[in-house]
Chains A and B, each alone.
Chain A
Amino acid sequence: MTVRLPRIAAASGLLVVTLLLPLVLPGYYVDLVTQMLIYAIFAMSLDILLGYTGLPSLGHAACFGVSAYTVGLVSLKITSVFWLVAGAALGASVILSALLGFLALRSRGVYFVMITLALSQLLWGIAYQWRSLGGGDDGLPGIGRPKLEIPVSFADAANFYYLALVFFVLVAAVLSVLVRSPFGNALKGIRESETRMTSLGYNVWLYKYLAFVIAGTVAGVAGMLAAYYKGYVSPADLSILLSAKVMLMVILGGAGTLIGPALGAGLIVLLENVVSAQTERWPLILGVIYVSVIMFAPLGIVGKFRRKPRKSADT
C-alpha cells in the first residue's frame, strides 16, 4: 500500500512529459489531451463509488451536468469572475449530490443502479424541457473561457490545458490519499461486506453518503472544466449516454484503482474522436468495447496487467 520510490519517479517523469506536451503537440491534440484530463477527473470520481465503495451509479452525469449548467447560467447571466463561477458550480454539485445520495442510498444493488439512473434522467428532462432557463435542446452556448486576474489568456489551448492539468493533479493527489486513508479503507470494507462493517462498529450509511458527496463534488470539478472547455452546455451533459460512457471508462481502465479510470478515460476520448470522424455510430462502437472488456478483461486494463491474476470477478 505504501508509495514506493519508482512510483514517485514514474509519476514525476509523467508530470514533466505532460508539462512539455503543449510545446511539441499541435493545437488540436492539445485540446484532445485537455479533454482526456477532464474526463479522467470525471472517471476517477465515479471510481470512488463504483470501484472503492461498490456503488454502481448510472446517474453520475447528474453531478457533472448540473455543475456545467451552473457554469453556463452564472457566467452568462450573473458574473464571469472565475472563482465565483467555479465556487457556484462546485456548491451546486455538493448540494445536488447531498440530495441525490440521500434518496439513492436507501436502495442497493441493481435498485441503486435504477434509482440513480431515474434521478439523473429527471434532471435531463428538466434541462430538455425548461427552454427559458437552460435553452432546452439547444443548451447554453457562448460560455467564454475563464478569466483570472493574471496576464494569461485561457482562450489559448495550451494555457487552458495547463489549467485542466492543475485540477487533474490536485484531484488525483487528493483522491490517492483518500483511498489510502482510514476512510478509504472503510470504503473498501463496505464494498467487500457491509454486514461485517456494521458489526465492527462502522456507520455504513454515513460512509456511503460521504463517498457519494465526495464523488459528486469531484464530478462537479470535471463538469465545470468541461463547460469552459466546450463553451456550451446541453442536456447531453446530463444524459444516460454520458453516465454509461464514464462507467465504461472506469471498467475499461480497471475499477478499484485510480490510474485505471484515468487511462480508460484517455482511451475512450481518443477513440471517440477517431471514430466520430468516420461514422455516426459511436454508441455502437462503445457497446462493442463494453462487451469485449467484460468478456476478455473484466478487471480492466490495469487488472489485466497486475502481477497476480485475481480469481474473483470485478466489483
Chain B
Amino acid sequence: MNSFCLEMREVCKNFGGLRAISNVDLCLEAGERRAIIGPNGAGKTTLFHLISGTLLPCSGAIHLFGKEVTRLWPYHRAALGLTRTFQITNLFRNLTLFENVVLAVQALDQAKYSMLRPVSSYRRLGHRAYELLEQWGLRDKADAPVRILSYGEQRQVELIMAVAGNPQLLLLDEPTSGLSPAETGMVTELIRKLDSNITILLIEHDMDVAFALADRVTVMYFGSVLTEGSVSEVQNDPRVGEIYFGTE
C-alpha cells in the first residue's frame, strides 16, 4: 500500500496502429494539484479517459486511492471518489439547474435507485443542492433550464456537479476552454478556492491558468511523459519551450 491518490504504471493505449499513450507513469499525492500540459494530440484527454474508465488501457496498471482499478467500470471509480468535468460542456440541457445539481448529489446517495418516493421528499438531496447553488452564487437561477444559462455559468455548473459528491480526486478537462479572459479569471479563482483536500488533475491549454493552479506540472508529448516537475522547473526546461513554442 502507498499514499498515492492516483498511481499509473507503464500504461499504454493503442487505437489500432496508433500508439496514443505509451508507457506513462503518473503518480499524484493526496491533496496535490497537478497540471498536464502538452500540444494537441499529446494524449492528455485519452489519459483522462483511462483514469475515469471510459477507455481501458492495453497494458499497465492504474490504482486509485491504493486500490487497483485498471479494468473497473467508470461508475465504480466514481463511487470511490473520482469525478471529472468535460472539455465540451456536458450538462442535462433540458433540465433545470436545480435538477442538474440534484442528479449530481443523488449519484452517490443510497436513494439513487428509489422508485416509489418523489425526489422532493428526500430533504437531504434538495437541501444539499440548494446549499451548493448558494455557495456558488447561482441560487436565483435554480429553476432555469441549464441551456439558457450563459456559457460561463455552464462551465461553473460543470464544476458544481463535479464537487457535489465530495470527490477525493477531481479531473478537470480544460475548465476554462472557450471562456472570455474575465470569465477565465473567475473560474481559475473558483478552482483555486476548492477544498484543499481535493486532489486535482487538470488539463489546460492556457499556460497562465495551468501555472496559477498547479503545484507540479507534467508535460506530455506524443503519448509519453516528456518531463515532470515544479512550475518553475518546467517553465525553465528548454525542451518544453521547444515542443510548445518551437514553431513560433
Q: Are B119 and A201 in contact (CB under 8 A)?
A: no
Lowest 6 CB-CB distances: which A-B pairs, in order? Answer: A201-B78, A192-B92, A200-B107, A180-B118, A183-B115, A201-B107
**Which residues of A lie under 8 Å from residue B120 when comparing CB positions?**
1-2, 180
Whether the pair A196, B91 counts as a contact (CB closer than 8 A) is yes
A174-185 to B contact mask, C-beta < 8 Å, 1/0 = 100110111111
- Asked whether, in the complex, the Cβ of A196 is within 8 Å of the Cβ of B86, the reply is yes
Q: Which residues of B contact A196 (CB under 8 A)?
A: 86, 90-92, 161
How far apart are A246's CB and chain B's nearest CB, in angstroms?
A: 23
A200 touches B116 (CB 8 A): no
Query: Which of B74, B75, B79, B119 touches A180 (beta carbons < 8 Å)?
Result: B119
Which residues of chain B are within 8 angstroms of A182 by Cβ–Cβ distance? 106, 109, 111-114, 117, 119, 122, 125
Q: Mark A159-200, 1 if CB is under 8 A from B, else 0.
A: 000000000000000100110111111101100110111111
| Residue in contact with A185 in the complex, picked from B54, B84, B102, B161, CB distance below 8 Å | B102
A310 within 8 Å of B (CB atoms):
yes
- A278 on the B face (CB < 8 A): no
The listed residue with most B CB atoms (<10 A of its CB), out of A182, A192, A310, A312, is A182
Residues from chain A with a CB closer than 8 A to the CB of B147 are 311-312
Given contacts A192-B94, A199-B52, contact A185 B99 (CB under 8 A): yes
- Which bracket fits the contact residues of B? 35 or more
Contact partner of A193 (CB less than 8 A), chosen from B91, B111, B113, B119, is: B91
Q: A181-B115, A185-B106, A186-B103 are in contact. Are A201 and B165 (CB under 8 A)?
A: yes
- In this complex, the member of A177, A180, A201, A203 whose beta carbon has the largest number of chain B beta carbons within 10 angstroms is A201
Does chain B have a CB within 8 A of A202?
yes
Residue of A nearest to B83 (CB): A199
A214: nearest residue on chain B (CB-CB)? B115
Closest to B109 in A: A182
A195 CB contact (under 8 Å) in B78, B86, B99, B108: B86
In the assembly, what is the distance between CA of A312 and CA of B17, in Å?
A: 40
CB-nearest residue of chain B relative to A192? B92
CA distance A196 to B95 in the complex (A): 13
Q: Is the beta-carbon distance between B103 and A185 smaller than 8 angstroms? A: yes
Residues of A within 8 A of B111 (CB): 182
Within the complex, the shortest CB–CB distance from B2 to chain A, in Å, comes to: 25
| Contacting residues, chain A, for B191 (C-beta < 8 A) | none
B56 beta carbon closer than 8 Å to chain A:
no
- Find out whether the CB atom of A202 lies under 8 angstroms from the CB atom of B107: yes
Task: State A182–B112 Cα separation when bound (angstroms).
Answer: 5
Main secondary structure of the interface of A (DSSP, over half): helix
* Known pairs A1-B120, A195-B86, A201-B83 / 11 extra A-B pairs, C-beta < 8 Å: A177-B115, A177-B117, A177-B118, A180-B119, A182-B119, A188-B92, A195-B54, A198-B75, A199-B52, A199-B84, A210-B113
In the complex with contacts A1-B120, A193-B90, A312-B93, A198-B113 CB distance below 8 A: no
Q: Is B104 part of the contact surface with A, judged by Cβ < 8 Å?
A: yes
Chain B 175-207 interface 0/1 with A at a Cβ cutoff of 8 Å (1 = within) = 000000000000000000000000000000000
- Give the docked Cα–Cα distance between A193 and B83 (Å): 15
- Chain A residue contacts of B244, Cβ below 8 A: none
Can you name 8 A-B residue pairings with CB atoms under 8 Å? Answer: A180-B119, A182-B122, A184-B119, A185-B99, A192-B94, A192-B95, A193-B91, A197-B107
The docked-state distance in angstroms from the alpha carbon of A249 to that of B115 is 25
Q: Are B74 and A185 in contact (CB under 8 A)?
A: no
Which residues does chain A contribute within 8 Å of B136, judged by CB atoms?
none
- Chain B residues contacting A197 (CB-CB under 8 Å) are 103, 107
Are A1 and B117 closer than 8 Å at their CB atoms? no
